[in-house]
Amino acid sequence: MSLTDRPATDLLRDLSARKISSVELVKAYAERIRRFDGQIKAFLHLDIDAALAKAREIDARRAAGQPMGKLGGLPVAIKDVLCTQGIRTTCASKILENFVPPYDATVVRKLKEADAVIIGKTNMDEFAMGGSTENSAYFKTTNPWDTSRVPGGSSGGAAACLAAGMAPLSIGTDTGGSIRQPAAFCGVTGLKPTYGRVSRYGLVAFASSLDQIGPLGHTAEDCALLLETIAGHDPRDSTSADLPVPQYTASLSQPLQGLKLGLVREHFGPGLDSEIEAAVREAVKDYQSLGATVKELSMPHSKYGIATYYIIAPSEASSNLARYDGVHYGYRTDEKAMLDELAAKQKQLESAQDAKKLAQLDTPLIRLYRKTRAEGFGPEVKRRIMLGTYTLSAGYYDAYYLKALKVRRLIRQDYDKAFEEVDFVVGPTTPSPAFKLGEKTDDPLAMYLEDLYTVTLNLAGLGGISVPCGFTKSGLPIGLQLQCRPFDEERLLQAAAMYQRATDWHTKRPSL
Amino acid sequence: MPDHPYDLIVGLETHVQLLTDSKLFCGCSTAFGAPPNTQTCPVCIGLPGSLPVMNREAFRLGLVAAIALNCEIPQFTKWDRKQYYYPDLPKGYQISQYDLPMSQKGWLEISDPKGRFAAKKVGIIRAHLEEDAGKSLHDEAAGKADSRIDLNRTGTPLLEIVSAPDIRSTEETRAYLTELKLLLTYLNVSDCNMQEGSLRVDANVNIHIHTPQGKIATPIVEIKNLNSFRFIERALAYEAKRQFDAWQETGRKMGDPGTFKQTRGWDDAEGVTFSQREKEESSDYRYFPDPDLCPVRTPTAEVQKVRGGLAELPAAIRHRLEKSHGITPYDSDVIVAQGRPLVDYYEEVARIGGDGKKAANWVTQELLRVLNERNWSLAQFPLTAAALGELVKLVVAGEIEITRAKEVFNDMVAHKRSAGESMAALGIAKVDTSELEAICREIVAANPKIVADVKAGKQQAVGALVGQAKKKNPNANPNDVRRICLEIIGGM
Ligand SMILES: [Zn+2]
């Protein structure tokens, strides 16, 4: 197995034993990036020289016997929605094309303190809105298993760079499935932590009550390593939980006794690809052969998940994205052209003596806002800003936003009930495997339905993981999703690791 | 009775900056007057990814004020986003409180020592916390001129106190604001400095016109940014008349189709209010709960703790001074209006001087005169309360007469001397009774005409003798001279 195909924890053992150096690792991944990123386009930003310099420094410290952080020189790719001090952070949006944060996100700071080597910033759907990474304002990322297909999204670059062997660890974010769905599409493991497990400070907000940062890796163990590095209470994030962080890697090899799994009836209804259903049912059998019992249960409100999500998330997004107005930072429309245009329009209306339209003509400030936002945001972001502005408007708030909050509570109650009977809810991560580039770009609703099995978890604020559980006949990866009780990531990872010890789907790599 | 056929109806929205060291949701300083944009961080300038964290001290100050304003404190309150676009609002929304404010349904009692209105309770609808916006510096008239934005103020904690429309005159308006300001400064909640913008007032005003058909209410107008008490009084007086004139002209009243709550500004130079915008245009702030902040719970025990630790409030101090020192409501009002340090000062003077009323006279007249003349604060006043108390004590004991005591006071202030030192320097000593009698005998003997006048019943004629006695000895006490001379004449 080549260096770049190996799980991160495996590489870390060799780093610690000084069998390999961090510089060697960075060079190996840089070589993969050089060869394949032209095709995959996973990275929005790369600075191999800076990564090498950091790797050299870490190697020197290790050689000198100095204390070493938990990640000890492992390269990590970061989704371009986390602020990195001094490194452009765009959220794959034109409106932040020139934004260089003066500070690090808490997760980035923790990675640096753990001696990670930041190898680059990965592509995504603009402001994490989308399920295919086709909404990036810069370029589309492809799926390493079939480059005519999407890698999923919004953390498409994060999953694709792992699958393509261009990084051993990757940080993603999940608002409605944005870690789990690309992990499933790209045949890697991705974990969405319980809301509050990881600080959101420095994560550019899409939907604040749903966003959560999480790890992607080849194995549950990789995710455990990365999660224990980034998790924990942060005084800068009032919504982060003040709970101790278990050492996930330490307990990972303990098999779970008497495991009870719940199969949600509603997750096996119309719309589910038959190959995916077969693979998931096979995975459930694997668990049974490992001693698990399986119970079928119902989550009656899950059918409202998409509708609820597409009210709450755009509402929050419309507010969170109000700050991108061209005044303080980021993209601003060409002011001179804007003022000239406004003056011409005014002249035209004056000569036409159209007093009514003259009175309605934008002030320069309003026109600056309008043009900046019209030019700076892509269509999907605009669509969601409009949706959210509508649902929060006076007269509609109660019917949409308030109602959605009530349904959200009912969805959480469905989970609470389920977890009275089972330890984990298992099912498919996605209804279908990776689709063709462009296949759904003209049909937003079809794209939204990609989140069918993932959004309810965000609405309930719980944790979940997607692990590879097979392939379609055409060779596309399939993901198995496990969902857990609040802050039960330790056992979630144990359950995933147990499955990965018994299967080898997670060891498969695409040939590029 | 008012000279116009209507009642003025006023409700006030008062924003006060809280006296915290740091901003409401970040650690930046709230100090006034720093160079522009030097007191900012990713949170208060709304950089992508930054998150607010509530300043507990700001919340505590809000609680102190709300409790002192007799408000109910709900056990559960939350933060909401008020959304609108403006360059001095970098997030595109202001974090405020909408439907579950931290306090509501209180009152503030106002009274007038001059008796122009009866004491009354002005209702407080709500008091809630919110963050301040930045400052825009621009030439609005020019339109195209560059604007500049200072974000130092952005995120400064504000308490918005909304009164019920219970205020009925400009005098009541002034009394409400004065009392509110006093209350908040006594509690150290705010310095209420209007020049620095730490107290800002918007007034909702209309009039109820008396007609044979009953009362008619005019549409409510909100007058924005009234930044001095004088502006407020002038603006209210102007606006009441303007609304009356407008009603006479158009007959438009509250609730008529097409009437909106109008926002007007005050132009003090012209002495007029002017229309800023019809509120209808931008009334939808799309409030919703801020998902970045947790709701705040205030247990009953915490409310009780704050209530128990509350400083003595101005109204209570006034009552106490009147009761225990026997001073008039007017004097207690003057003393309390100067702030807690003067109250403490006065009480010390009264204690040492042994006469609350006389102490009040010295403090409210002589001391305040000096402070006003020299533009001093009490801290700059050279005499300790004990020193002034000693002087009062001498006056009370009749050791020195009042006009001479004022000379002594001026000398004490000028040279930072004790009463005894000043008296010595001015050659003031109490005249021995036998010496005074000798002087009186002498001048009575030398003024037979005055003696005759007094004997004829013109008692006031003895006044001329007082002047002569003072010439012989400036320390001669006029009252004593008058009494002794009358005794001598009576015995003749
Ligand atoms: Zn700040």
Q: Do B286 and A401 touch (CB under 8 A)?
A: no
3-state secondary structure of B14: strand
| pLDDT value at residue B58 | 98
pLDDT of B274 above 70: yes
| pLDDT value at residue B413 | 96
How many whole angstroms from A92 Cα to the centroid of ligand 1?
A: 27
Q: Are A174 and A79 in contact (CB under 8 A)?
A: no
User: Domain segments of chain A: what residues?
Assistant: 3-263+421-507
| pLDDT value at residue B476 | 82
Count Cα atoms within 13 angstroms, Cβ side, for B248.
10
Residues B272 and B321 in one domain: no
Interval A175-222: pLDDT, tens: 999 999 999 999 999 999 999 999 999 999 999 999 999 999 999 999
How many whole angstroms from B56 Cα to the centroid of ligand 1?
A: 15
pLDDT of A122 above 70: yes
Q: Do B288 and A239 touch (CB under 8 A)?
A: no
Residues of B in contact with A392 (CB under 8 A): 83, 286-288
pLDDT of B277 above 70: no
Q: Are A180 and A464 in contact (CB under 8 A)?
A: yes
Residues B346 and B451 in one domain: no
Q: Which of B89, B40, B25 is nearest to A103 (CA)?
A: B40
Q: Do B85 and A369 touch (CB under 8 A)?
A: yes
Residues of A in contact with B50 (CB under 8 A): 103, 201-202
Residues B350 and B464 in one domain: no
Residues B68 and B167 in one domain: yes
| pLDDT value at residue A183 | 98
Domain membership flag for residue B1: no
Q: Which of A132, A178, A199, A432 is catalytic?
A: A178
Residues B107 and B147 in one domain: yes
Q: Which of A21, A136, A154, A318 is catalytic?
A: A154
Q: Nearest C-alpha of chain A: how many angstroms from B341?
A: 39
| pLDDT value at residue A267 | 92
Interval A61-111: pLDDT, tens: 999 999 999 999 999 999 999 999 999 999 999 999 999 999 999 999 999
How many whole angstroms from B46 Cα to the centroid of ligand 1?
A: 9
Amino acid, single-letter form, for residue A240: S
How many whole angstroms from A221 Cα to the centroid of ligand 1?
A: 39
Domain membership flag for residue B292: yes
Strand runs labelled E in B1-115: 6-17, 76-77, 80-83, 93-96, 103-110
Interface-testing mutation among A392, A393, A409, with chain B (most B C-beta atoms within 10 A): A392
Q: Do A83 and B49 touch (CB under 8 A)?
A: yes
Domain membership flag for residue B308: no
Interval B22-69: pLDDT, tens: 999 999 999 999 999 999 999 999 999 999 999 999 999 999 999 999
Residues B113 and B211 in one domain: yes
Interface-testing mutation among B41, B51, B83, B89, with chain A (most A C-beta atoms within 10 A): B51
Contacts of B391 (CB under 8 A, 6+ apart): B353, B362, B405, B408, B409, B412, B419
Q: Cα separation of B244 and B249, whole Å? A: 9
A436 strand-pairing partners: A149
Q: Do A319 and B286 touch (CB under 8 A)?
A: yes
Residue A154 annotated in active site:
yes
Residue by residue, DSSP assigns A163-208 as HTTS-SEEEEEESSSTTHHHHHHHT-EEEEPPTTSB--TTBPPSST
Buried (b) or exposed (e) across B259-296, using 16+ Cβ within 10 A? beebbbebeeeeeebeeeeeeeeeeebbbbbbbbbeeb
Q: Is A314 an interface residue toward B (CB < 8 Å)?
A: no
CB-nearest partner of A325 from B81, B85, B294:
B85
Residues of B in contact with A328 (CB under 8 A): 45-46, 90
Q: What is the DSSP letter of B81?
A: E
Residues of B in contact with A368 (CB under 8 A): none
pLDDT of B108 above 80: yes
Residues B397 and B461 in one domain: no
- For chain B, what is the mean pLDDT? 92
| pLDDT value at residue A66 | 97
How many whole angstroms from B133 Cα to the centroid of ligand 1?
A: 12
Residues of A in contact with B155 (CB under 8 A): none
Residues B170 and B288 in one domain: yes
Interval B381-433: pLDDT, tens: 999 999 999 999 999 998 888 888 999 999 999 999 999 999 988 888 777 88
How many whole angstroms from B196 Cα to the centroid of ligand 1?
A: 20
The kind and range of the H/E element at A23 are helix A22-40
Q: Do A323 and B144 touch (CB under 8 A)?
A: no
Here the CATH number for the domain that contains residue B473 is: 1.10.10
Interval A391-417: pLDDT, tens: 999 889 999 999 999 999 999 999 999
Q: Do A204 and B49 touch (CB under 8 A)?
A: yes
Q: Is A96 an interface residue toward B (CB < 8 Å)?
A: yes
Picking from B399, B426, B453, the residue at the C-terminal end of a domain is B426
Domain membership flag for residue B309: no
Tokens read off for A157 = 């670059």
Q: Do A101 and B49 touch (CB under 8 A)?
A: yes
Most confident of A375-389, B226-240, B262-276, B471-485: A375-389
Q: Cα separation of B167 and B240, whole Å? A: 13
Residue A178 annotated in active site:
yes
Alpha helices in B104-203 (DSSP H): 170-186
Residues of B in contact with A401 (CB under 8 A): 288
Q: Which of A54, A70, A79, A140 is catalytic?
A: A79
Place of tokens 């003895």: B462
Q: Do B48 and A96 touch (CB under 8 A)?
A: yes
Interval A270-319: pLDDT, tens: 889 999 999 999 999 999 999 999 999 999 999 999 999 999 999 999 99
Interval A239-262: pLDDT, tens: 999 999 999 999 999 889 999 999
Interval B161-209: pLDDT, tens: 999 999 999 999 999 999 999 999 999 999 999 999 999 999 999 999 9
pLDDT of B303 above 70: yes
Residues B238 and B332 in one domain: no
A446: confidence class by pLDDT, cuts 50, 70, 90: confident
Residues B339 and B218 in one domain: no
Q: Is A235 an interface residue toward B (CB < 8 Å)?
A: yes
Residues B298 and B355 in one domain: no
pLDDT of B280 above 50: no
| pLDDT value at residue B279 | 47
* CATH of A3-263+421-507 given 3.30.465.10, 3.40.50.300, 3.90.1300.10, 3.30.980.20: 3.90.1300.10
Interval A1-41: pLDDT, tens: 799 999 999 999 999 999 999 999 999 999 999 999 999 99
pTM of the model: 0.92
pLDDT of B281 above 60: no
A461: confidence class by pLDDT, cuts 50, 70, 90: very high
Domain membership flag for residue B100: yes
| pLDDT value at residue A304 | 96
> For the residues B99-127, what does the mean pLDDT come to?
96
B4: confidence class by pLDDT, cuts 50, 70, 90: confident
B141: confidence class by pLDDT, cuts 50, 70, 90: low
| pLDDT value at residue A374 | 98
Q: Is A91 an interface residue toward B (CB < 8 Å)?
A: yes
Interface-testing mutation among B286, B290, B294, with chain A (most A C-beta atoms within 10 A): B286
Residues of A in contact with B286 (CB under 8 A): 318-319, 389, 392-394, 397
The number of distinct structural domains making up chain B is: 3
Q: Do B92 and A322 touch (CB under 8 A)?
A: yes
> For the residues A464-488, what does the mean pLDDT come to?
98
Domain membership flag for residue B295: yes
How many whole angstroms from B153 Cα to the centroid of ligand 1?
A: 9
3-state secondary structure of B354: coil
Residues B101 and B208 in one domain: yes
Q: Do B53 and A235 touch (CB under 8 A)?
A: yes
Boundaries of domain holding B405: 314-426
Q: Cα separation of A210 and A304, whole Å? A: 16
Residue A79 annotated in active site:
yes
Q: Nearest C-alpha of chain B: how many angstroms from A203?
A: 5
Domain membership flag for residue B35: yes
| pLDDT value at residue A397 | 94
B462: confidence class by pLDDT, cuts 50, 70, 90: confident
